[in-house]
Amino acid sequence: MVKDIATPARTKEILEKHGFSFKKSLGQNFLIDPNILKNIIYHAGIDKRSGVIEIGPGIGALTEHIARAAGKVVAYEIDDRLLPVLEDTLSPYTNVKVIHQDILDVDLNAAIEEHFSDVDEVTVVANLPYYVTTPIIMKFLMGKVPIERMVIMMQHEVADRITAVPGTKAYGSLSIAIQYYMDAEVAMVVPRTVFMPQPNVESAVLRLSRKTEPPASVIDEEFLFKVARGSFVQRRKTILNNLQTSLPQGKAKKDLILEALSKASIDSVRRGETLSIEEFANLSNALYEEFGASEK
């Protein structure tokens, strides 16, 4: 039986063997608790018919648990110093391929075609560096990448923002952008003590599952997200005030914005945080001809 990588003693042993030191700029925090990893695999719902994309495998702690459960794992690592470490720690697992590349530079649709043509479904499982969590998630969603699920360790505060509902403090443009595509739930909260080194913030595992269809029909998804972002420029201001600030020539076109709000049955004195995704969709459709189409 191969000893788990994710214990404090084994992690220290691996780091010392390879003379590895953490790079703060890459947000490296390695998991040292096998039970947390088993829980992540459980929430990912993967089996031997699954292909898994992992981002930032580190020294392979999560990777080996994925490899034991899944049919195939492709892990993207940006830090070239970790490549020999991973070659060593993952040597017992023949179903893992490590690629030295920044996930934000990867053509994800082409990668899935190349590496996962022989699996039933593809899932993303990752302990993500906090500084780059949102761009990575949005790259998968906006790129229409054919994945069923994303199970991701992230900063607890960001997970709360992603899962937030209208009328709450955490609800914002990030909640709208992700919930447009995925059902989002916090699967578990993770204490700092299970990482080496310990991060300064609490973590959570977020489970995102692909919606069969979006909650509303929109003319242009990018414009929907632009309107949503613009509606939260200053949270305490009304939606009318924020749209006047954020839309091109918004102040001069106040009457057109009021007309669009009326068409979408939205009171102009409401705040952005009270609008549902459906209401944002109706509003973006009503604004599109005047403020969105011209940008195309």
The predicted-structure confidence for 49-77, as pLDDT tens digits, reads as follows 999 999 999 999 999 999 999 999 999 99
Question: What value does the mean pLDDT of the chain take?
Answer: 94
* Known binding-site positions for S-adenosyl-L-methionine: 29, 31, 56, 77, 102, 127
Q: Could you report the per-residue pLDDT of 167-184, keeping only the tens digit for each?
A: 999 999 999 999 999 999
Q: Could you report the per-residue pLDDT of 102-145, keeping only the tens digit for each?
A: 999 999 999 999 999 999 999 999 998 888 999 999 999 999 99
Q: What stretch(es) of the chain map to CATH 1.10.8.100?
A: 221-295
Give me the pLDDT at residue 200, please.
87
Any idea which fold 221-295 has?
Helicase, Ruva Protein; domain 3 (1.10.8)
Give me the pLDDT at residue 174, please.
96
Give me the pLDDT at residue 295, please.
62
Name the percent of the chain lying above pLDDT 70.
97
Q: Could you report the per-residue pLDDT of 242-289, keeping only the tens digit for each?
A: 999 999 999 999 999 999 999 999 999 999 999 999 999 999 999 999
* Known binding-site positions: 29, 31, 56, 77, 102, 127
Q: Are 153 and 205 in contact (CB under 8 A)?
A: yes
Give me the pLDDT at residue 292, please.
83
- Give, as one character, the DSSP assignment of residue 40: H
pLDDT band for 296, please (50, 70, 90 cuts): low
Q: What stretch(es) of the chain map to CATH 3.40.50.150?
A: 8-210
CB pairs under 8 A, 24+ apart, for 2-6? Answer: 2/64, 2/92, 4/34, 4/37, 4/61, 4/64, 5/59, 5/60, 5/61, 5/64, 5/89, 6/30, 6/31, 6/32, 6/33, 6/34, 6/36, 6/37, 6/61, 6/62, 6/65
Mean pLDDT of 220-246: 96
Mean pLDDT of 214-223: 94
Give me the pLDDT at residue 34, please.
95
- Name the CATH superfamily housing domain 8-210: Vaccinia Virus protein VP39 (3.40.50.150)
Mean pLDDT of 219-241: 96
